[in-house]
Amino acid sequence: MTKAYSYACRDCEGMEACPASIVAETKDELWQLMSHHASIAHGENPADWDQETRDYLETLIKTVTV
């Protein structure tokens, strides 16, 4: 069993209709994939995310074992 990090976009406020969920081995990779997803699927620019947004997204990250 390996520890991994997961993020489900629908857990994010206003993203309930989004089916994307992401799993990565490290939090660093997960953040990059989340940023990539937000950019592709939602037209967001992660460089514009402020600390509050990052703190909020951080609370949505779950630890899973795969």
Distance CA 12, CA 10 (A): 5
Size of the site for Zn ion (CB under 5 A): 4
- Using rule CB under 5 A, residue 9 touches Zn ion: yes
- Using rule CB under 5 A, residue 40 touches Zn ion: no
Q: With CB under 5 A as the contact rule, which of the stretches 21-29, 37-45, 47-55, 58-66 interacts with Zn ion?
A: 37-45
Sign of the torsion formed by the C-alpha atoms of 39, 10, 65 and 61: positive
Q: Contacting Zn ion (CB under 5 A), which of 4, 18, 24, 33?
A: 18
Distance CA 28, CA 17 (A): 25
